Structure 1
């Protein structure tokens, strides 16, 4: 019996902008049904890697697979299994929440009736059922981000990518979003790659990939990385590994 394919397999990825090397021999994987944190300071290469995984950029060095499908050669099959939340806000502020859902789902071939059924269920579970007819511009920053996450789930992906999803939010909104995404991992067996520069978003049980200046310097569970570096927490491990002050 063959083993279940990895949700995401990044193998020896490199990328340059002219003479500047943004990523250098980057390799790591995300198991199905797991929460993995891609941790690195601003400028580490996280957004470039995100763009390669989502096929916004073509990978010229190395290979990326999503559930066994090569993003370069089988982009349709790979990307159908992928939900994405970009760092920049992407809701149409003049549309209401459900209209944003309908527009997005149509890009995946899902009709309005099915979208409204799925969308209503997602909003109900997230405690946002009463905001379905509100314009996106009337939502708080945290609510906008939670709606973007729900929108990314409409086509029922198996892997969810979130690029710095809590930037600019207050402590409570950040905690609510983290709790929402962690619950999805448990409830839906969803694989998540969460990119951040914020140390306090890492839990001891999380899988962690530390990316610094375009290179993977450590990968494994947060607990193991802490133990291997003989320190008390992941912040101290990050400092020891990168030789820089810990992110905060």
Structure 2
């Protein structure tokens, strides 16, 4: 076993879902979903349309309450905080980047980050230091006073990711964060997210339909029709499905139509 694998195994769990169920009337969106994400671990979530990915993220972010099961997030006190019983403490340990941009386009980059720091009650001195470090890490120091509206799509996403990391969360939840970005920007954002999350020892749950973003994940979780079909490494996914690549392994496992965009832009149904 590689040293990185040993370290990840020994790290505390940033997120634990236990037998989570959510239904909307007669339609069951999640049925007994159990999964974990450890601090410093990059976990990709794959699932076809209607798999339940969006519902799962809404439960994890407190927008929906699960009908059954339990969601806990590791607190700064190293104690697990239950999303149902103690949502304030649980949510305080999350960093979130939604699929739809959620940032004030008319405010400068710096003002957006300061506003988020104030929401989390960070002392101004601490906030100033963290903002400066993150702007350097993302290559945005020179654009700190520019309105977000003037930035490229990739740089706007960097601001959202910097904002999500600002309060040093235990867990980063990213829902299709590279939608609409060009291939180079996507690859850069994935690399930055992995590096900074590892440095901060934050667990990452990254929902995506793009195979390129999955192949280098520590683990892949396949969600299909509201249940977890697979949880393991990309190599193990290929082996279980008896396929040579992650895309065909995923399609075989979920029995989805074998469609692929092209040779350079491989994707699976969102």
With normalisation by structure 2, the TM-score equals: 0.86
Q: Which residue is equivalent to 1:178?
A: 190
Q: Partner of 1:90: helix, strand, or coil?
A: coil
Q: Which residue is equivalent to 2:16?
A: 9
Q: Cα distance 1:4–1:201, how it changes in 2: closer, same or farther (>3 A)?
A: closer
1:31-70 matches, within 5 Å, as 31-67=38-74, 68-70=80-82
Q: Deviations over 1:174-199 (max 9, x none)?
A: 11100101112332222100011112
Q: Which residue is equivalent to 1:120?
A: 132
Q: Does 1:188 align with 2:208?
A: no
Quote how far apart the aligned CAs of 1:204 are.
4.6
Counterpart CA distance in 2 for 1:161 and 1:239 is: 24
Q: Which residue is equivalent to 1:87?
A: 99
Checking the alignment, whether the CA contact within 8 Å between 1:102 and 1:111 is kept in structure 2 is: no
Q: Which residue is equivalent to 1:238?
A: 250
Q: Does 1:221 align with 2:228?
A: no
Q: Does 1:166 align with 2:178?
A: yes
Counterpart CA distance in 2 for 1:186 and 1:110 is: 22
- Which of 198, 201, 204 in structure 1 is aligned with 2:210? 198
Q: Cα distance 1:24–1:154, how it changes in 2: closer, same or farther (>3 A)?
A: same
Deviates more, 1:157-166 or 1:67-76: 67-76
1:100-119 matches, within 5 Å, as 100-119=112-131
CA RMSD for the aligned pairs? 1.6
Checking the alignment, whether the CA contact within 8 Å between 1:204 and 1:223 is kept in structure 2 is: no
Equivalences, count: 246
Counterpart CA distance in 2 for 1:117 and 1:205 is: 30
Deviates more, 1:221-230 or 1:173-182: 221-230
- Which of 133, 143, 146 in structure 1 is aligned with 2:145? 133
Deviates more, 1:36-45 or 1:120-129: 36-45
Counterpart CA distance in 2 for 1:178 and 1:205 is: 10
Q: Which residue is equivalent to 2:263?
A: none
- Which of 158, 165, 177 in structure 2 is aligned with 1:146? 158
Q: Which residue is equivalent to 1:20?
A: 27
Structure 2 spans left out of the alignment, 5+ residues:
1-9, 75-79, 259-267
Counterpart CA distance in 2 for 1:182 and 1:188 is: 10
Q: Cα distance 1:144–1:204, how it changes in 2: closer, same or farther (>3 A)?
A: closer
Counterpart CA distance in 2 for 1:35 and 1:132 is: 28
Structure 1 spans left out of the alignment, 5+ residues:
none
Checking the alignment, whether the CA contact within 8 Å between 2:14 and 2:202 is kept in structure 1 is: no
Q: Deviations over 1:130-178 (max 9, x none)?
A: 1100001001111000110000111111211101101111111111100
